[in-house]
Amino acid sequence: MSTAGMDEEDALVLQAKKVAIRAKLRSLTNALSQPLQRKDQNIVEAVSLVNGTTMSLQKFREDGFVEILERAYCFCEQHKLERVNMDEVYITSRNRKTNITHRHYFEFDIFNIVLDRRIQEFGDRFGEVSTELPSNIFALNPRDSFSMFDKKKLMNLSKMYYCDFTHKDREKLDGELDVYYDIIRRNENLLV
């Protein structure tokens, strides 16, 4: 958004709001990026972090505007700037009146758009398949006597690879997984 036509104080308040949004987004996504950089990261733990971060971003989009507004107001108080009355009609950078309030403009035209882009970017990077696949594969982990074995996840895996499994193959796999699990639970040589 251009700040042309805005007075210096309005431009500063707008910048304060943008900085507050960026800071909050960094704090939400940093909780994920640090653990993912560790080499000893457990796949299931990583998938949980991705899912948790996605939910946090969505929750922040739904409930976070008030927090950002409060931060902007604190900034205004610290720098002795006049607060923008959020109930007044928003005037564009070209001094044109609109039919929306400042609150509507900042919440829907800036805040939500920034969050929607971040959530979309996050979804593109960590899509459902890329997070679901490791979780489904981990259902075969022999650690702790196959404690993570999950027939449903393995069946989901066969659905993800639908080109490799016909409907008949999946029906057969359903029974084979029951037999497999029963065998590994009774055979102490297979337990880790």
Tell me if 49 is assigned to some domain.
yes
How does DSSP classify residue 84?
P
Q: Please report the pLDDT score of residue 30 as a whole number.
A: 76
Please provide the DSSP assignment of 29-82 as one string. HHHHHHHHH-TT--HHHHHHHHHHHHHHHHHHHHH-HHHHHHHHHHHHHHTT-P
The whole-number mean pLDDT for each consecutive block of 10 residues of the chain, a chain of 192 residues, reads 56 74 79 66 71 88 91 87 88 88 92 90 72 71 70 84 85 87 72 54
- Cβ atoms 191, 145 nearer than 8 A: yes
Contact 94, 38 (CB under 8 A): no
> What pLDDT score does 143 carry?
67
pLDDT of residue 39: 58
For 7, 141, 148, the CA distances from 152, given in Å and listed in that order, are 60, 14, 11
Q: Are residues 99 and 146 in the same domain?
A: no
Of 111, 126, 141, which residue constitutes the final position of a domain? 126
End of a domain among 105, 126, 147?
Answer: 126
Dist CA 82 CA 27 (whole Å): 28
Domain that holds residue 151: 133-190
| Same structural domain, 119 and 146 | no
pTM here is 0.58
Q: Distance (Å, rounded) from C-alpha 87 to C-alpha 17?
A: 17
